[in-house]
Chain A
């Protein structure tokens, strides 16, 4: 798999349920960032977790990072219709500045 691959590719859940998305990567990272993209629109930054952190929270979002498994998860609790979007993880490696994006998870919240 390529650097930054999310699974599942698509997820549909009922409003109020929790949504979990996973991201795997291949190389050592400095940090991992999660972004949201509404259809055809810009990328909205959600949360950044550094390689020496294991868990971070922001409102209804919880992100975990397991550097030994080279994976991260994004949990959205008590989902809302407005959470419908594509979610991308992006990794920043040591020594360079670019973000490498994953393929994304398309999340649909069913009212």
Chain B
């Protein structure tokens, strides 16, 4: 069964460093998302992406964040200058059609900022 994959599974970085989190959505899906979950808290929406552009973003998704689909399979989230409060589990998700359909989540990347 097709699934969303994410790399790396864990990443430790120093405050102020740039990190790139990678995702491979399900191959025929058209909508891609990033969410995050700070330890012990709710899963929060960051951004959705369709047709090579951001279709929706949350207040969390400020200028420090960017997303890109560099090729036909990968979908990346870049945090330019990490802060301690960026420590969280980051989930990528994809859906076949509009965002009103089932979103399939990857296993997540646990980011720890020191």
| Partner pick for B56 among A33, A42, A48, A96, CB 8 A cutoff | A96
For B31, list chain A residues within 8 Å (CB). 97
* A interface majority secondary structure: strand
Q: What sequence of 0s and 1s flags, for each residue 75-114 of chain B, a beta carbon within 8 Å of any chain A beta carbon?
A: 0000000000000010101000011111111111010000
Q: A97-B98, A101-B42, A102-B42 are in contact. Are A42 and B105 (CB under 8 A)?
A: yes
| Partner pick for A42 among B44, B99, B102, B106, CB 8 A cutoff | B106
Say whether B108 contacts A98, CB under 8 Å.
no
| Partner pick for A31 among B42, B48, B100, B106, CB 8 A cutoff | B100
Q: How far is the CB of B67 from chain A (nearest CB, A)?
A: 14
Q: What sequence of 0s and 1s flags, for each residue 22-49 of chain A, a beta carbon within 8 Å of any chain B beta carbon?
A: 0000000011010100001111110010
Interface size for chain B: under 10, 10 to 19, 20 to 34, or 35 or more residues? Answer: 20 to 34
User: How far is it, in angstroms, between the C-alpha of A40 and the C-alpha of B88 when the chains are bound?
Assistant: 11
Say whether B98 contacts A42, CB under 8 Å.
no
In the complex, what residue of chain B is closest to A43 when comparing beta carbons?
A: B105
Interface residues of A (CB under 8 A from B): 4, 30-31, 33, 35, 40-45, 48, 88, 90, 92, 96-104
Interface residues of B (CB under 8 A from A): 31, 33, 35, 42-45, 48, 50, 55-56, 58, 89, 91, 93, 98-108, 110
